[in-house]
Chain A
Amino acid sequence: MATSSASSNRQSGRLQAAENERVLDEVTRRRRMRKQLEALEQDNFHDDPHANLQWHKKMPKFEDKSGKKRRNTEEDGEPASKKKRKIRGEHFKQRFRKNFHALLEEEYIQSSNPDNPEKPTYFSAQVPSSNLPVRHFCTVCGFHSNYTCVRCGVRYCSVKCRDVHTETRRERRHGLFLPPAVVAVAPPVESTAVVLLSSALMWIAAPRAIEHRPRPPRVSRCC
């Protein structure tokens, strides 16, 4: 069917309506909340400034190194600390280089040991959910919000804030804001891999995100 449209910018009205109606589902919303909370626990939001430095052995060192080994000075920066680490013993590295999730897994396994069911653990020490009602704040201006974005579920307080939100369409990675053009692409669907124990533990041990009540899908009003 040949169309008589001259302008190449004209898009199909049907596709545009479908695009505007695309509502993020519950799983994606929860994933975003979890990522936001994890970002709050990060130490650094930029890359290591010393990551790509090449340490040349032949580079002249201007510090005056005395003859005896002093274990407490760090004037040489990176190379000295690397040397010290080797001297200290390989077994240290194997035994103690566990990250937090590995420790959590261990603790989980030990705490489900039926020997001591009453013993307090890391998990039992976590404070339970609040009994007070949740307050919602506009993501754009920070004051109280009454309305929720249909597509992604974030809160806004007024039409002005809603427009700002639609423009920026917050797809944040590490605090950088991607321009709207990139965001228009549908987010990649995560593979439904088998849930590993550690990722299950992240749910248990991470600060619990409040789950938004699912909103009923809206019927679009376009003609």
Chain B
Amino acid sequence: MANVFVMDNGACTIKAGYATGKEPRQIPNCIIKAKNERKRVYIGDQIDECKDRSSLFFLLPFQKGFLVNWDVEHQVWDHTFGKECLNITCKDTCIVLTEPHCNFLSVKDATDEVLFEDYGFASALRTNASALSAFGYLDANPDERCCLIVDSGYSFTHIAPYCDGRVIKEAVLRISVGGKLLTNQLKEWISYRQLQVMEETYVMNQCKEDVCFVADDFEENMAIARKRGAANNILRHYVLPDFLNVERGYVAMPGDSHDGEQILKLNHERFAVPEILFRPSDVGIDEMGIAEAIAYCIMTKCPEPVRARLFKNIVLTGGNVLFEGFRKRLETEVRSLAPQLYDVRLIQADQPITDAWHGGSKLAQSAKLKDMVVTKADYDEKGGWRICRERFDN
């Protein structure tokens, strides 16, 4: 088999690398414009070269989690496949690419066309990120046979049950809350209550990752947040970067003094932001939270024989699971919603962001891959989109 290149094409970052490598490279999947740099734009990980990261303007190829803007995506992929980044020769490579669940047919066709006609890969496989995670998990635990993958990413959260390696398509659920929504909500709250930060997506995203945690008991934490003085151990100050003296924002305790730096005071926002994942109705989104959706998915959409195994093998992947306290809170909630006779066990992936990539890498090294891919010869002879849909989407 030719070299296999695994590429987890996410809305926030691309995790890409040869399957034989240890870790993928994480490249932001966007084109960024800085307000002081008029002569160039930053593509993908070129953003590291940018000194002043305030008021960055993002051009994302993804909209609501689906790839709609091919102009931007081409540029990012050109950069990724090119000499500066991963330097691959497409003709000799087999690519394993990810797409979201329930992807639109025209986007699927467009992806196939781009891979084979524009880049000319030797063969390709188009699958979901959760399928790769499931493969990785079931590979390591073959006795389990079933698992439920919770993939909470930038655009949305998907809950997908897998049984014997195949997804139960009718049971896949999508919650519209993802990292992007959480960052935007944090920006709105701060902008209304303290300081206008609506333009500072990059900085506030870092703030969210540094400072937010998931409360195991929302009401108790709200009560603590109301207190003043030393009794309130939730309040933190966040020092904003000015890109001259302070390169990156950092958390500080309320007592410390800062000369000349802009500070944000974060109190209940610290846990109210990730709370949206568990209760989207807090901000007005009429959907179930993750815990409810897991219970709903298993109990109403999955056939009875697999339910016990699904509850025992809930795998958490995606960037949002990195919030402190996420797993514990989710376990408490799912345990209270699941019927008493089932055991509930949640497993957090070791590296949630790159978990799908690692699953893909394991798939590449297994014998199953060659039955799943479509080669360029097949694509040319058997009429492109027909064979791709048959192989990938049945």
Q: Give A contacts to B, CB under 8 Å.
A: 33, 36-37, 39-46, 48-50, 53, 70-75, 77-78, 81, 84-85, 88, 92, 95-100, 103, 106-107, 110, 118, 120-122, 124-132, 134-135, 137, 139-144, 170, 174-177, 207-210
Q: A39 to B66, Cβ gap below 8 A?
A: no
The smallest C-beta distance from A201 to any residue of chain B, in angstroms, reads 12
Q: B287 to A129, Cβ gap below 8 A?
A: yes
Within 8 A of A (CB), among B179-219: 180-181, 184-185, 187-189, 191-193, 196, 198-199, 201
Contacts of B39 in A (CB 8 A): 77
Q: Give B contacts to A, CB under 8 Å.
A: 33-35, 38-41, 43, 46, 55, 57-60, 63-64, 66, 68-71, 74-75, 78-79, 81-84, 101-102, 104-107, 110, 118, 159, 169-170, 172-177, 180-181, 184-185, 187-189, 191-193, 196, 198-199, 201, 222, 225-226, 268-269, 272, 279-289, 292-293, 296
Contacts of A41 in B (CB 8 A): 64, 180-181, 184
Contacts of A96 in B (CB 8 A): 70, 106, 110
Select B281's contact among A74, A92, A134, beta carbons within 8 Å: A134
Known contacts A121-B102, A175-B198; is-contact A132 B268 (Cβ 8 Å): no
Of all chain B residues, which has the CB nearest A34? B284
Q: A175 to B191, Cβ gap below 8 A?
A: yes
The smallest C-beta distance from B72 to any residue of chain A, in angstroms, reads 9
Q: A71 to B286, Cβ gap below 8 A?
A: no
Pairs across A and B, CB under 8 Å, 26 listed: A41-B64, A41-B180, A43-B201, A45-B199, A46-B55, A72-B82, A74-B46, A77-B41, A81-B75, A97-B70, A103-B104, A103-B106, A120-B170, A124-B170, A125-B101, A127-B173, A127-B174, A127-B287, A139-B192, A140-B192, A170-B192, A175-B187, A175-B188, A207-B286, A208-B285, A209-B285
A132 to B199, CA, bound (A): 34
A176 to B198, CA, bound (A): 9
For the complex of A and B, the 7 pairs showing the least CB-CB separation, nearest first, are A72-B82, A175-B198, A208-B286, A207-B176, A45-B198, A77-B40, A207-B285
A97 to B289, CA, bound (A): 33
Q: B58 to A135, Cβ gap below 8 A?
A: no
Known contacts A44-B58, A132-B279, A143-B268; is-contact A49 B174 (Cβ 8 Å): no
Q: A103 to B198, Cβ gap below 8 A?
A: no
Known contacts A40-B283, A49-B57, A50-B33; is-contact A132 B292 (Cβ 8 Å): yes
Q: B34 to A49, Cβ gap below 8 A?
A: yes
Of all chain B residues, which has the CB nearest A139? B192
A135 to B282, CA, bound (A): 6
Q: Known contacts A50-B57, A125-B101; can you find 10 more A-B pairs with CB under 8 A? A: A37-B283, A43-B59, A74-B79, A84-B74, A125-B174, A132-B292, A140-B192, A142-B269, A142-B272, A175-B191
The smallest C-beta distance from A176 to any residue of chain B, in angstroms, reads 8
A154 to B35, CA, bound (A): 36
Contacts of A36 in B (CB 8 A): 284
Select B296's contact among A77, A81, A127, A135, beta carbons within 8 Å: A127
